[in-house]
Amino acid sequence: MNHYYDRSNLERIPELIKLAPQAAASFLSFERDVFHSTEAIPLKMKELIAVAVAHVTGCPYCIDVHVKKCKELGGTKEEILEAILIATSTRAGAILSHATHALIAFDDHPEQLTGQTTDQQSSIPDCFC
């Protein structure tokens, strides 16, 4: 069985670049600028941030690449785990903070008297998630 996330998939990136050369060039230039042209944050710290963000976005390719780059720059397992825990705490806090929207939606939404769900009332979805 092939795994969905196989590191060898990254070997197809040149194919993606050929399919959209201008957009790819813009993205790669932007990435180079962010990691190498700006200097307010040291490169190892940038890689720790990238590791944390990769865990929030759930990209195993990014996790692999940025952990290895961080390690090459002297990053430790403890630093990497701490960055991941910060991302975990921040993401959990954001989810909890957004719970206020659930309370508002519950309090502001009138009860449906017809017994029909929103899906039964209209063919237009209320949400795409």
- Provide the residue-wise pLDDT of the chain in tens; the chain has 129 residues: 567 889 899 999 999 999 999 999 999 999 999 999 999 999 999 999 999 999 999 999 999 999 999 999 999 999 999 999 999 999 999 999 999 999 999 999 777 655 555 555 567 888 887
- Please tell me the predicted confidence (pLDDT) of residue 20: 97
- Please tell me the predicted confidence (pLDDT) of residue 5: 87
> Apex CA 101: angle with CA 100 and CA 102, to 5°?
90
Cβ 86 vs Cβ 52: under 8 Å: yes
pTM flag (> 0.85): no
- Please tell me the predicted confidence (pLDDT) of residue 117: 55
- Please tell me the predicted confidence (pLDDT) of residue 113: 52
- Please tell me the predicted confidence (pLDDT) of residue 115: 53
- Please tell me the predicted confidence (pLDDT) of residue 127: 83
In 3D space, the residue among 89, 55, 88, 91 whose CA is nearest the CA of residue 70 turns out to be 55
